[in-house]
Chains A and B, each alone.
Chain A
């Protein structure tokens, strides 16, 4: 085990090697995006019940003020990203393509947008229950993309123990460099975040998993860990997609597999994205709730690629405008990474808590939509990190054979899109699995 930790070849099996494109932004320090005049804060930016608004149209709100509370345990609070006036609570376009309830805020053009008089919380004397409630009140969700409420993850169920804590700094999606910059520029807060979390979740061992293409981040973090006298271990991992997926990371670092249908805690492990940990530290040391996040604005068709701190709720059109607009070759805008990101039809959608990138792509990176028949070449079978058979499931999906797909463990698919990426026939495999999964879940919910 010890020797394996030192080796730089730690990884999982299968997976793909897409071109990285990280050079566009990897060297650019994070800059703060100026405030704009309107914000759209969706009530559902997380997995679970949508938050319940605490404000009315016309009401003034302060930056950082709670404007919606958690509706249930699996739900979080929302906060005002800027000082201004609530203009409406209505349906608005959401990055997931649906219309969802959101609080519209008209920013006060004369406000300095500073947050005065905020002190940290005394977390050292806090009990576990208060900790969980504070994390929920901070509106904290996993910033890696899935948007799972952080406090739910941190609440270890009765009878389970957490022996390993892993900070996820893989950032295996091409193009994205937000986590990379966070690790380089907020190393001290990241280590602090891990210290706070370990205070409440007493893990024996703490790891920070980083792909081998971020040597500067490993160095800075190594120094910071020594400076803060911690025993965390920086684990270099092979550059491979989807190394940053929770299950793949656990496999690479601990050589353990999360049983099907179970959670990482079932193998005594807790994984958290580095951005989430920094946000945790910022809340407990300076009382700043999750009102902004680091986003990589990049792609081959954006004029000025950048790593930006963007208030949650900023419409994408303003972000693109701030980055110099798009070039004539732009054909597609994605929120998230190129592998798992969501293509957008409107630029009015806001940046939400789970969005780590705004990608503007040209024709060269966007796949031709022509599909051919499956020739059963098995490339998808050889790349699926979950060892599923996408080829067979793809054929079944076309016939609506969802029960058979469930037997082939389609519910274990976490939609990394490696299969669609390698398919020589251009078959939208992962899209059909997404449909199949929701159909199976719906059918189960009904019975």
Chain B
């Protein structure tokens, strides 16, 4: 699983480039709190090897990368703890959970701190400056200056019908969560993981294909109202979610056929939530909902055993 961590390094570097030391601050906080929770909740002989498989580290990094750059450190710490405790250990630990732990952590934060998690700072600024309310004291929200916040491309599209330049979306020069803005690097990391056969490439391919197909239809119906397919793919957390979160082996189906269904389901939900839902972004809920459907998909796509009817 450390291959996934290696693949995340360029994504973290991109986040550092755009959002400075905040990226490092949140990544370290989330990883440490996830690993601390993992160590704390493991019992007996499991404890000394609980951190060796790297799964808690991945959860922490993914959680951090899905947060806004100016998110308070103390909330991040809480989120990491919730990710492991509610996302993983109450189900019985690694391999038993139904939902992706990082996304459970993020959903927890979204419910607990709805303002903080939707306050986005602009990219740019000094590499060593902490963004937004990073350093807010525990139990305080901190104050954000309006001048440094910006709407995400998805929010601007949804509420003002103003698309963002595609090149900015691909390179990552937009507001958004730490790790989601630079689409090209995420895609390259995905290609690396697919070539090394670390993950199941069917899932991201099926998500992206569904999103492109569905949003093309909407775009064809009314290009002014709905975003273009490429805008859809490169904005928001779609790439980060498709490459790193939906591919979590524990919460995705067994069979290749099941993976296609799983990916298609996520794709449809993302487009529906983004276009018709109340929120500008829907990747997190789309993946969590399909996680819940995974046991059902596994049941439907069972193989016929050789020699049986």
**Interface, chain A (partner B; CB < 8 A):** 247, 251, 257-262, 370, 372-378, 381-382, 385-389, 391, 409, 412
Contact = CB atoms under 8 A, between A and B. Distances in A.
Contacts of A387: 303-306
Contact of B94 (A373, A378, A388): A373
Interface of B: 49, 52-53, 55, 93-95, 200, 249-250, 252-256, 302-308
Given A376-B249, A382-B256, A389-B254, A247 B306 contact: yes
Nearest to A385: B306
B254 A391 contact: yes
Contact of B306 (A375, A381, A389, A412): A412
Most buried by B among A247, A375, A412: A375
A257 B95 contact: no
Contact of A258 (B53, B93, B307): B307
A251 B306 CA distance: 10
Q: Main secondary structure on chain A at its contact with chain B?
A: loop
Given A378-B254, A378-B255, A391-B254, A372 B306 contact: no
Contacts of A391: 254
A13 to B, nearest CB: 9
Contact of B95 (A258, A260, A376, A389): A376
B255 A382 contact: yes
A378 B307 contact: no
Given A260-B305, A260-B308, A412-B305, 5 more contacts: A375-B95, A386-B306, A387-B304, A391-B254, A412-B307
A329 to B, nearest CB: 26
B303 A260 contact: no
A376 B55 CA distance: 13
B250 to A, nearest CB: 5
5 shortest interchain CB distances as A-B pairs: A377-B249, A378-B254, A387-B303, A260-B307, A381-B254
Contacts, number: 68
A266 B256 CA distance: 32
Nearest to A13: B306
Nearest to B307: A260
Given A373-B94, A378-B249, A259 B308 contact: yes
11 contacts: A258-B306, A260-B305, A372-B53, A376-B250, A377-B249, A378-B200, A378-B254, A387-B306, A389-B254, A389-B303, A412-B305
Contacts of A377: 200, 249-250
B135 to A, nearest CB: 36
Nearest to B251: A376
A381 B305 contact: no
B303 A374 contact: no
A262 B306 CA distance: 12
B255 A373 contact: no
A389 to B, nearest CB: 7
A257 B252 CA distance: 30
Nearest to A258: B307
A386 B305 contact: yes
A385 B303 CA distance: 11
A389 B255 CA distance: 10
A376 B254 CA distance: 7
A50 B215 CA distance: 70
A370 B49 CA distance: 10
A242 to B, nearest CB: 12
A391 B252 CA distance: 13
Given A373-B93, A382-B256, A388 B308 contact: no
A259 B95 CA distance: 33
Contacts of B49: 370, 372
Contacts of B94: 372-373, 375
B305 A409 contact: yes
B307 A262 contact: yes
Nearest to B302: A389
A381 B255 contact: yes
A231 B255 CA distance: 42
Contacts of B308: 259-260, 409
B253 A388 contact: no
Contacts of B302: 389
A68 to B, nearest CB: 36
Contacts of A378: 200, 249, 252-255
Nearest to A374: B95
Contacts of B303: 381, 387-389
Most buried by A among B93, B249, B305, B306: B306
Given A374-B95, A375-B94, A391-B254, A259 B305 contact: no
Nearest to A262: B307
Contacts of B254: 376, 378, 381-382, 389, 391
A96 B302 CA distance: 35
A373 B306 contact: no
A262 B307 CA distance: 9
A67 B306 CA distance: 42
B246 to A, nearest CB: 14
A376 B304 CA distance: 19
A260 B305 CA distance: 8
Contacts of B253: 378
Contacts of B305: 260, 386-388, 409, 412
Contacts of A385: 306
A144 B149 CA distance: 71
B59 to A, nearest CB: 13
Contact of A247 (B53, B95, B307): B307
Nearest to B253: A378
Contacts of A257: 306-307
Contacts of A261: 307
A387 B256 CA distance: 13
A375 B250 contact: yes
Nearest to B247: A377
